[in-house]
Amino acid sequence: MYSPRPRFKFNTIGLFTSNNKATVDFYTKAFGFTTSWDGEQPNVEMFLGDNRIILFPRDAFEQMVSQKFQYPEGFNGTMELSLNVPTFADVDKEYLNALNNGAKSVLPPTTEPWGQRTCYVADPDGNLIEIGSFVE
């Protein structure tokens, strides 16, 4: 059966930041993202294996597009980054690691009725990050 070539390949999540340095520090220390960012350019590329996120300062983005935006205060409930870990024990371990590296707790590790152990933390800009596993 012929399968047409997809129109798009999803490859990146972009986050608008209030402080690139704080966000880079958080994602590298808490989750092991890597970057070759020079600390000065507004655009930051960060990698975790084959996954990529980009960071761009909110004020620089507004200047670039000549528009003002409203950003959520506190926790940002409009999207999440979801990180899968091997086991339930890893959920607990990575939750504590994230908190020790500056994350704010949103939901402590919880085993849900559908069989997933999950937790939520927030990065320095309030973006939600889920850490979960389906393997006990």
Mean pLDDT of 77-85: 95
- Please state the pTM of the whole predicted model: 0.91
Q: What is the rounded (10 degree) CA torsion for 92, 11, 36, 122?
A: -30
User: Which domains, from first to last, does the chain contain?
Assistant: 13-66+73-133 (3.10.180.10)
Strand partners, 26: none
Quote the CA–CA distance of 31 and 40 in Å, as a whole number.
22
Determine the angle formed by the axes of helices 88-100 and 20-31, rounding to 10 degrees.
140
Strand partners, 84: 132
Is the separation of the CB atoms in 44 and 24 below 8 Å? yes
Tell me what the pLDDT averaged over the chain comes to: 95
User: Which residues in 87-112 are b (16+ Cβ under 10 Å) and which e?
Assistant: ebebbbebbebbeeeebeebeebeee
- Summarize pLDDT for 82-122 with one digit per residue, the tens: 999 999 999 999 999 999 999 999 999 999 999 999 999 99
